[in-house]
Amino acid sequence: MNIFALARRPRTVLAATMPRLVHKLRATLPRGHALPLDTWQSRHNLIVGLLWLHVLGVFAFGLGTEHTFEHSFFESLVVAVLALLAGWKRRSRTFRAAMSSLGLVTAAALLIHLSGGYIELHFLFFVTVGIITLYHDWTAYLIASSYVILHHGIVGVVLPEAVYNHPDAFVHPWKWAAIHGAFVLAVSVVGILNWKFAEAEQARSEQALREQVAAQEAVQLRDQFLSLAAHELKTPLTSLLGYAEVVQRRTARLGVLPERDQRALQVITDQAQRLQSMIEVLFDVSKMERGQFHLTPRPLELGHLLRRLVDEVRPVLDKHTVELEAPDAALIVVGDELRLEQVVQNLLQNAVKYSPSGGRIAIRVYQREGRAILEVTDQGIGIPPEALPNLFRRFFRARNVDAQQIHGLGIGLYVVHQIISLHGGQIDVQSEVGVGTTFAISLPIAVVTTISEPVMAPLAA
């Protein structure tokens, strides 16, 4: 094999490896310039304020260590110029951070000079490097770290007594520059790690915020679509249902259609009514979201409302029995009769829908502690415990619903919850999977002197 080829191989391998190593190193290190402007500005203001304290500190320390007024003033003036440059708002973030960083390390160096190289004051550099990492800016950070090493090395050679106060450092200034640089490097590693973790946490927060905004926008878009779809479907569906009912009545009167076609016409009518109910619910949701959902309250007897609704639903149920337990005494509430009827119908429909095997549906109304309590209990599939906290959210459906192939939009209970809340009431649910579910509604009772004169607090807004 050619000896020159062997000589070139290590360089080729190194050339191929270096880009990957550099990429990994850059991925490991923090990016810098990731702070939001307001966060960066608040930190910068704090650091510049600290820098101005160093201006006063250098001047006072110079006088306290028996230096002349002119010497002390000149030393502090250097730091003051850097502080002014750091506060120059027309300059970039990088420039201002670099000036404040340079000012802090310069102030630390001047304090060491004024002390005659007092060894304990070198710890100021470590503190300074830690403060500068608050900028999350590589320019400021590298200026500070490089300054420490070069200062100890160069000034340690030219004026060792201004940097060190022990004989070995006078003889080997670069050795002690390296020692101090190693300590600064250790502090730097800690600062870089903290910087990296802060950037990672900020990135996670920003990602979470973007996902939240995207989810909100998707919800708004969905709501707009549903509102528009409901509006566009309502008119043709109303016409369809109206004509289907006209044909159905005419057919029943004339008897001109075979029984099979009559059943088909009944299916058309039933499904059109079902679609109309769904569209009305979508309209209600849209009004609620826009704050345009209003009630028309008046006194009503809750037991009478329930008896009427139960009498209407019983004839159409094949596999279910509905039992009503209501007191003989009048139970007066102030509310919107149509909306409360909508609530009861929704709970009854859910009781039927989610107990596909049939069974008993128990409705119980009674008075407790000045409130009317309405309970609807079924013997259906039940609701998983983890689904209960989300049950009254829009478009939420429990996981066992899909397994049973029970269809729905997941907005009926949301509307129920909103209507009850507007009445100043509460709705709770207790359920056990495979056993059944109980919905309990609590409404304030109207205080009456006579049946015709109810007195009650206004409805909740």
DSSP string, 94-140: HHHHHHHHHHHHHHHHHHHHHHTS-GGGGHHHHHHHHHHGGG--HHH
Of the candidate ranges 234-238, 353-357, 445-449, the one whose mean pLDDT is the lowest:
445-449
The strand pairing partners of 441, in sequence order, are 374, 427
How far lies 133's CA from each of 103, 144, 185, 421, 427, in Å?
14, 10, 13, 52, 54
Supply the CATH number for residue 408's domain.
3.30.565.10
Helices 123-132 and 93-115 meet at what angle, rounded to 10?
Answer: 170
Nearest to 128 by CA among 88, 72, 82, 81: 82
pLDDT at 26: 59
Would you state the structure tokens that stand for residue 398, as one six-digit string? 């429990």
Q: What mean pLDDT comes out for the span 3-13? A: 53
How many domains is the chain partitioned into structurally? 3
Q: Where are the alpha helices (DSSP H) in 151-172?
A: 156-158, 167-171
The Cα 3–Cα 6 span in angstroms is 5
* Confidence band, pLDDT 50/70/90 cuts, at residue 461: very low
- In sequence order, which ranges of 314-411 are alpha helices (DSSP H)? 337-353, 399-403
Over residues 181-210, the pLDDT tens digits come to 777 777 777 777 777 777 778 778 888 888
Do 314 and 417 lie in one domain? The reply is yes
Would you state the pLDDT for residue 455? 40
Q: Is residue 383 part of a domain?
A: yes
d(CA 315, CA 191): 77
As a dihedral over the C-alpha atoms of residue 72, residue 75, residue 76, residue 81, rounded to 10 degrees, the angle is 150
Asked whether residue 461 is domain-assigned, the answer is no
Q: For residue 97, is it within any domain?
A: yes
Higher pLDDT, 415 or 218: 415
- The confidence score (pLDDT) of residue 171 equals 76
Q: Which of 277, 293, 309 is the last residue of a domain?
A: 293
Please tell me which of 11-20, 192-201, 410-419 the model is most confident about, judged by mean pLDDT: 410-419
Residues 43, 101: one domain? yes
pLDDT value at position 449?
Answer: 45
- pLDDT, averaged across the chain: 81
With respect to residue 460, please indicate whether it lies within any of the assigned structural domains.
Answer: no
Confirm whether 287 is domain-assigned: yes
Q: Which of 324, 412, 408 is nearest to 360 (CA)?
A: 324
79 contacts 107 by C-beta, under 8 angstroms: yes
356 pLDDT above the threshold of 70: yes
Report the candidate in 360, 335, 358, 355 with the shortest Cα–Cα distance to residue 441.
335
Instruction: Give residue-wise pLDDT tens across range 439-451.
Output: 999 999 986 544 4
Question: What pLDDT, on a 0 to 100 scale, did the predictor assign at position 25?
Answer: 55
Do residues 116 and 15 both lie within one domain? no
pLDDT tens digit sequence for 281-340: 777 777 777 777 888 899 999 999 999 999 988 888 888 999 999 998 889 999 999 889
Please indicate, yes or no, whether residues 139 and 221 belong to a single structural domain of this protein. yes
Q: Worst-scoring range by mean pLDDT, 165-169, 293-297, 344-348?
A: 165-169
CA distance 333 to 459: 11
- The distance of Cα 416 from the centroid of its chain, to the nearest Å, equals 26
The verdict on residue 340 lying in a domain is yes
Which percentage of the chain shows pLDDT scores above 90?
31
Q: Is 428 helix (H, G, I), strand (E, B) or coil?
A: strand
Q: Is residue 420 part of a domain?
A: yes
Split at pLDDT 50, 70, 90, the class of 459 is very low
The verdict on 248 and 387 lying in the same domain is no
Q: Is residue 70 part of a domain?
A: yes
Domain's final residue, options 244, 259, 293? 293
Give the contacts of 131 (CB within 8 A, at least 6 positions apart). 47, 50, 104
Which range, 12-26, 124-138, 247-261, has the best average confidence (pLDDT)?
124-138
Instruction: Please tell me the predicted confidence (pLDDT) of residue 119.
Output: 72
Domain finish residue from 242, 273, 293: 293
* pLDDT band of 270, cuts 50, 70, 90: confident
* 76-112: pLDDT as tens digits: 999 999 999 999 988 998 899 999 999 998 998 889 8
**What is the sign, positive or negative, of the torsion defined by CA atoms of 344, 345, 347, 348?**
positive
Using CA atoms, how far residue 174 sits from 98, 115, 116, 125, in Å, is 25, 20, 18, 17
Q: What pLDDT sits at residue 450? A: 44
**DSSP labels for 432-445?**
ETTTEEEEEEEEEP
DSSP letter for each residue of 171-193: H-HHHHHHHHHHHHHHHHHHHHH
Residue 402 or residue 3, greater confidence: 402
Q: Are 372 and 443 in contact (CB under 8 A)?
A: yes
Question: Are 241 and 327 members of one domain?
Answer: no
Residue 266 shares a structural domain with residue 131: yes
How large is the average pLDDT for residues 431-445? Answer: 93
At 325-339, the pLDDT tens digits run 999 888 999 999 988
Query: What tokens does 211 get?
Result: 């996902």
| CA 375 distance to own-chain centroid | 35
Kindly state whether residues 21 and 78 are assigned to the same domain.
no
Whether residue 175 contacts residue 164, with contact meaning beta carbons closer than 8 Å, is answered with: no
Q: Which residue has the higher pLDDT, 430 or 190?
A: 430
Give pTM, 2 decimals.
0.49
Range of the domain at 289: 31-293
The backbone torsions φ and ψ at residue 410, rounded to the nearest 5 degrees and listed phi first, read 80, 25
Shared domain for 327 and 180, answered yes or no, is no
Beta carbons of 17 and 184 less than 8 angstroms apart: no
Give the separation between CA 269 and CA 243, rounded to whole angstroms: 9
Q: Quick one: 214 and 80 in the same domain?
A: yes
84 plus 227 within the same structural domain: yes
| Rounded distance between C-alpha atoms, residue 21 and residue 13, angstroms | 12
Residues 283 and 376 in one domain: no
